[in-house]
Structures are given as C-alpha cells and as structure tokens.
Copies of this chain bind each other. A is one copy, B any other.
C-alpha cells in the first residue's frame, strides 16, 4: 500500500487505462519527469522534489513493465511503489546524469523506433535540463507529444482520489473555522499567515505547499503576493487561500473575512461571489463544458462581460494545486463524472480592489457536490 493509500489494483487500472489511450493515440510508451505524473502512476510521494538537482524518469510502455530510471538516493522509496523495474544511477553526475541509462532503457522497454509520448501541452513542463534533453533525443526512438494522454487520465478522479481530496478539504475547513482565534485588528498579516499554516498542520495537513492571500480596505489589490508585515486594520477585507496536502492530495479554496463589520458594498460583493459559485455548481454535470461553467458564473458576476484579469473562474485539482481543465471561454473540455474542480469567482471594484471566493466540488452523475463546506452568504467578521 502506497503512502497515499491508493491500492495496488488502482495503480494497475491506471496503467491499463494509460495503455488503452496510448494505443488510440498511436504511442508505444510514455516518458514522465514530474512529481505529479510519476506519483500518479507509482504512488512515489516525497518532498525531495524540492531539490532541483537530480532528474527522475518513469517509462510507461504500452506493453511490459513500467520502469523507473532514477537516482540511487530514491531506490529505497521507489521499491515500495507500484513499478515493475527500477534502474538507478549515482546522481548527481555532471557528465551523464542518467541520460545514457535512460536511452538504453527506452530502447529495452519501448524498442528502437518506438513512439515515446512526452507531456508537452498546456500546464506541463519537462523536468530535466535542456542540454540533457537534446542529448537524450539522439536515442533512436521517436519523441513526440503525449496527445494529452496524461491530462485525460489525471483529469477524472477515482473514488479513492475523491475521498483523499475530501479529507484534505476537511482539514482546511477546520483550519478556516479557527481563523477568528488567530486574526484580529492589529495582527501583522505575516503572523496571520504563519498561524494559519500552523492551524492547517494541527488539523492534519502533512504539509502546506500553498498559502496566498491579502488584506486591504474594502478589498485587496492582488491574490498572489506573500504576506507583508502590515497590521490588519478595521475595514480590511482579509482573504486566505490555501492548498494543503494530505497523503499527496491537495485542496484549494479560500475564505474572506471582514475586520469589523463590513460595508454594505463588501457584504453585497461577498453574496454575489457566493451566488456565482452556486450558479457554477448548478450546471456542473456530465455533458456540460468547462466554458459553460465560466459563462454561468460570469453572468452573475459581470452580467456576461467576460471575466477579469485572473483569466478564469476555477480549475481542476488533485495531485497538483491547479490542473486541467480551466473554467474559461476557450476551454471546451466536457465535464465527466469524477472531475474535481475549484469554483473561483472574482470581482474587481477598482484598480486596487478585488475579491475572490473559492470552493471545491466533485462532479457526479446527478450533479456537483461540495468537497469544501460551502461558505455562508454572509462575510465572516473578525474582532477589531
């Protein structure tokens, strides 16, 4: 059993689905390099990815065993994972950091002339040095994009994955419920951020990869800045947006708070954000598209003007904080049962004043259900 509690049979099923999609796409195998893609197929879960020094590789051939080609330092952990073979080299190696071993293994595993799909589309990157990539390409195989195979696989979550995300959401819910005890007028935003992360851990997060937020009079300027040392002031709107991890799976939602009673403008804005979230959730069912959700929310938010600079009103989540699809006009992805999404409406009041709300949902045959505990219509109030 892997550390994220996914059963061996589920990994086998993921490999089977991958093979079927690969055959349809005319691929003989996949080459994967990123934490989430490798974890998806093997359960390999480690914070060691924080070190950019060493490349790691997983080959998923359309026939035969999955092969990890990895630094020796990761062999003990990889042996506990869902993988058929492990080949290691002593990394780092400044002259040949796994490249020739990977070339040989690709030929053994996929065969000379084989078509090797490498995730290359939107939201992907190749986690290896460009110089090594150009060396690798001298291998006698046909590297090409993965035709969206990995995106397609990961976008629909299994029952086990949904329950893991639900459990992570519950951790964040408990932490958010305790914010009034850690954030009052006069508290520095940087300290509120520290304390919120401590609450997340105390409530059961394994780690806190993401916390953003802001505070400002009648709204905030920005949703990605780190905390400043400025104190909370009466009249501030405080937003905390967190991506906690438990057993490898993320939540991603936020809560807004008013320091002291909110103005009627802010109270109303919050109600509009909640209404937009509900409008989005109401049409989240198999057959509708990601764009449909955007338009349903945008109608409530802007009367249909087309959204704000944030660029979208939500996205997928799972092994990553943000995953496909994107809730925006140009994303025609059809919703399917098992998709886990964030609904993330935003409102802009002025050049430096905005508000964002976010919830997490899962799509089922009979519509969408909240995984986060839907916020109330009324903005939460913190002590002054």
In this assembly, does A272 line the interface, its C-beta being within 8 Å of a C-beta of chain B?
no
Q: Does A158 contact B (CB under 8 A)?
A: no
Indicate whether A265 reaches chain B with its CB closer than 8 angstroms: no
Residues of chain B within 8 A (CB-CB) of A90 are 309, 311
A9-48 contacts to B (CB < 8 Å): 45-48
A326 to B202, CA, bound (A): 36
- Tally chain A residues at the interface, Cβ within 8 Å: 78
State the copy count for this chain: 2
Is A50 on the interface with B (CB-CB < 8 A)?
yes
Residues of chain B with a CB closer than 8 A to A312's CB = 92
A69-126 at interface with B (beta carbon < 8 Å): 71-77, 90-95, 97, 118-126
Q: Are A126 and B123 in contact (CB under 8 A)?
A: no
A17 CB to nearest chain B CB (Å): 22
**Cβ contact within 8 Å between B51 and A321:** yes
Q: Are A212 and B92 in contact (CB under 8 A)?
A: no
A228 at the interface (CB under 8 A from B): yes
Chain B proximity of A198: nearest CB distance (Å): 5
Which stretch, A57-65, A216-224, A275-283, touches the partner chain B?
A216-224
Q: Is chain A's interface secondary structure helix, strand, loop, or mixed overall?
A: loop
Q: Which of chain B's residues have a CB closer than 8 A to the CB of A122? A: 53, 92, 94, 97, 129
Contact among B53, B94, B118, B198 with A198 in the assembled complex (CB-CB below 8 Å): B198
Cβ-defined contact, A125 with B123, below 8 A: no
Are the C-beta atoms of A46 and B125 separated by less than 8 Å? no
Report A122 CB to chain B, min CB distance, Å: 6
A-B contact pairs, 13 of them (CB 8 A): A47-B209, A47-B212, A47-B226, A53-B123, A72-B310, A73-B223, A94-B331, A95-B330, A120-B129, A123-B129, A194-B205, A197-B207, A206-B226
A118 shortest CB reach to chain B, Å: 6
Report the minimal beta-carbon distance from A352 to chain B, rounded to whole angstroms. 7
A331-B51 Cα distance, complex, nearest whole Å? 18
The smallest beta-carbon distance between A1 and chain B, in angstroms, is: 11
Question: Judging by beta carbons under 8 Å apart, are A91 and B224 in contact?
Answer: no
